[in-house]
Amino acid sequence: MDSNEGNFDERILNTFGTFEGFNFRTQQAIDGNLTAREVIEWNHDAKGEAEFWPSGDSPGARLLWGGRNVTASELLRLAKLLAETNGDEDEAFMRVHYAVNVQGKGMDELTANTLDDFGIYVFRGSNFYDVRKDAAYELFETFYPELYKIWDESPCDGLHFDTDDFLDSPSWWTEEVKFGDEAVLLVAGL
């Protein structure tokens, strides 16, 4: 292990939740769930070759990896990346998910700056209906300010803005994600 690999707040590793595993030497599941630190420190020579995947108790890990195998180097890289963002780890998980699972980037290609360059918008709330509505109005006002002003100030009662048509247009990539108790809408311009 590189001497710089552990230079991040250990608290970040705790946001990864726990991991299940399979030991190929014993040909059986590893007893109990392992922490991210235990996965990183797993000695494949001494304990046997193994693979690990999120147990599902961390919404971020579940979103990013699903049931896919996770390596120690991915966990270390993600921990460093989250430390670089100096912000909301949940939102950073969502941005990394977009970069890796939608844009096809490798974890080693990502930095806090490249995550910002993707221009992904994260909208959160208690239900998808309200989150989609709020997102559509905010994006409409942000990207089309003149049209929004005309629409907003129009005396015509029948002038309708369809939030679903707006968000489902070919201009946007959207994904609805259940993140713990929150309804989250991820939006990126295409």
Q: What is the pLDDT of residue 48?
A: 95
Q: What is the pLDDT of residue 7?
A: 58
Q: What is the mean pLDDT of residues 95-111?
A: 93
Structure tokens at 61: 């890990």
Task: Specify the residue for token string 């991991």.
Answer: 19
What's the pLDDT tens digit per position in 41-69? 999 999 999 999 999 999 999 999 988 99
Check pLDDT > 50 for residue 4: no
Structure tokens at 4: 């710089």
How far is residue 93's CA from residue 64's CA, in Å, rounded to a whole number?
7
Q: Got the DSSP string for 36-59?
A: HHHHHT--HHHH--EEEEE-S--H
Q: What is the pLDDT of residue 8?
A: 64
pTM: 0.85
Q: Do residues 100 and 106 lie in contact, with contact meaning Cβ atoms separated by under 8 Å?
A: yes
Mean pLDDT taken over the chain: 91
Which pLDDT band holds residue 2 (cuts at 50, 70, 90)?
very low
Parse the chain into domains and list their residue ranges. Answer: 10-117, 121-189
Q: What is the pLDDT of residue 159?
A: 80
Per-residue CA distances from 4 to 1, 8, 29, 58, 108 (Å): 8, 9, 31, 25, 15
Q: What percent of the chain has pLDDT over 70?
A: 95
Q: Got the DSSP string for 98-160?
A: IIIIIS---GGG--HHHHHHT-EEEEEESSHHHHHHHHHHHHHHHH-HHHHHHHHH---TT--
Other residues' Cβ atoms within 10 Å of the Cβ of residue 182: 14
Q: What is the pLDDT of residue 47?
A: 95
Q: What is the mean pLDDT of residues 97-116?
A: 92
Q: What is the pLDDT of residue 86?
A: 74
What's the pLDDT tens digit per position in 109-160? 999 899 888 889 999 999 999 999 999 999 999 999 999 998 888 888 778 8
Helix/strand/coil for 184: strand
Per-residue CA distances from 166 to 25, 29, 46, 141, 188 (Å): 53, 47, 56, 12, 13
Q: What is the pLDDT of residue 185?
A: 97
